[in-house]
């Protein structure tokens, strides 16, 4: 068997997240079907992460084993011809036998895009979350630094989270503005269920004065989900980068 590392990008608007499920269409199922059409092989691919319904990926890595003698370039172009236009194979390489997209992942970077405007932009319908309250991105960039470091992020985890260990390391968390867009970028060694969306929601509560600007350390300390802000909706969230070699502490 040959082992491959495949990199995707997808617009998650039309999918119920990454993971294959019985009652709704997921990206994994569409990708596995395309692999079957291309190679005739029924494989179960290993994704680097579950993404939720409506969440996007600019870089998503999966690993898979194939019998086929097809070249990596042939896999990329072949899968792209079978995949719908909202899923794209942006890279493919053959890799060592043991490589596993999830187990060997060293870290990830997410981006969350807020459209900060009273007036809707029809072209951002599925690709940003609109928040009408004027955002002070300098204030939020400062507050976001309190997330950085190794902490128990239990307060920033959906109550549906099934992880026993909720300690994660955040390498950086930056907030910047590009016109009407406010962009939250966070990198860490791992993320709990809904963690990025709750971290961003907490910053938006700080912006609106519903949570104090210096409260993040106390919320972390509390380990209490109800102290943090609302979970912001999925359409603003992008899995941006996945790291395998070294920790992305740039």
Q: Reduced to 3 states, what is the DSSP secondary structure of residue 224?
A: coil
The answer to whether 235 touches 54, Cβ cutoff 8 Å, is yes
Determine the interface stretch with its own copies among 72-80, 144-152, 186-194, 212-220 (rule: CB under 8 A): 72-80
Pick one of 3, 9, 223, 227: the residue that binds its own copies (CB under 8 A). Answer: 9
Task: Find the distance separating the first CA and the last CA of the chain, reported in whole Å.
Answer: 36
Hey, what are 175's tokens? 């907030």
Stretch that binds its own copies, among 47-55, 121-129, 134-142, 190-198 (CB under 8 A): 121-129
For its own copies, the closer CB: 12 or 229: 12
Q: How many CB atoms neighbour CB 33 within 10 A?
A: 13
Nearer to its own copies, 124 or 175 (CB): 124
Question: Contacting its own copies (CB under 8 A), which of 119, 159, 179, 226?
Answer: 119
User: Does residue 120 touch its own copies according to CB under 8 A?
Assistant: yes
> Residue 152 interacts with its own copies (CB under 8 A)?
no
Query: Does the footprint of its own copies cover residue 11 (CB under 8 A)?
Result: yes
Question: 60 to each of 12, 92, 129, 223, how far by Cα in Å?
Answer: 12, 11, 21, 30
Q: Is 52 an annotated catalytic residue?
A: yes
- Give the whole-angstrom CA distance, residue 189 versus residue 182: 24
In the complex, minimum distance from the CB of residue 206 to its own copies, in angstroms, rounded to a whole number: 26
Tell me how far, at minimum, the Cβ of 242 lies from its own copies, in Å. Answer: 16
112 is in an annotated binding site: no
For residue 179, what are the contacts with CB-CB under 8 A and spacing of at least 6? none
What CA–CA distance (Å, rounded) separates 35 from 53?
A: 22
Q: Which of 66, 90, 161, 213 is the binder for its own copies (CB under 8 A)?
A: 90
Distance CA 227, CA 7 (A): 37
Residue 202 CB, shortest distance to its own copies, in Å, is 25
- In the region spanning residues 29 to 68, those forming contacts with its own copies, defined by CB under 8 A, are 56
By CB under 8 A, the count of residues binding its own copies is 22
Q: Which of 11, 52, 121, 162 is catalytic?
A: 52
CA distance 186 to 168: 12
**Which residues lie below 8 Å from residue 84, measured CB to CB, with a gap of 6+?**
30
At its nearest, how many Å lie between its own copies and the CB of residue 153?
29
88 in contact with its own copies (CB under 8 A):
yes
Please give the positions annotated as active site: 52
């Amino acid at each position: 068997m040959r082992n491959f590392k495949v990199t995707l990008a997808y617009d998650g608007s039309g999918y119920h997240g990454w993971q294959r499920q019985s009652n709704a269409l997921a990206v994994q199922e569409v990708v596995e079907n395309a692999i079957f059409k291309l190679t005739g092989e029924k494989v179960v691919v290993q994704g680097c992460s579950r993404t939720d319904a409506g969440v996007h990926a600019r870089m998503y890595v999966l690993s898979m084993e194939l019998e086929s003698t097809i070249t990596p370039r042939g896999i990329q172009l072949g899968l792209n011809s079978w995949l719908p236009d909202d899923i794209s194979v942006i890279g493919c390489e053959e890799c060592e036998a043991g490589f596993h997209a999830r187990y060997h992942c060293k870290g990830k970077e997410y981006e969350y895009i807020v459209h900060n405007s009273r007036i809707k932009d029809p072209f951002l319908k599925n690709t940003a979350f609109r928040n009408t309250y004027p955002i002070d991105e300098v204030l939020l960039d400062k507050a976001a630094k309190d997330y950085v470091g190794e902490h128990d992020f239990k307060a920033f985890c959906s109550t549906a989270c099934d992880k026993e260990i909720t300690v994660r390391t955040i390498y950086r968390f930056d907030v910047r503005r590009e016109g009407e867009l406010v962009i939250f970028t966070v990198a860490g060694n791992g993320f709990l269920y809904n963690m990025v969306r709750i971290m961003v929601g907490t910053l938006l509560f700080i912006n609106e004065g519903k949570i104090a600007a210096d409260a993040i350390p106390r919320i972390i300390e509390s380990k209490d989900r109800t102290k943090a802000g609302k979970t912001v909706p999925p359409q603003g969230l992008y899995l941006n980068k996945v790291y395998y070699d070294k920790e992305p502490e740039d």
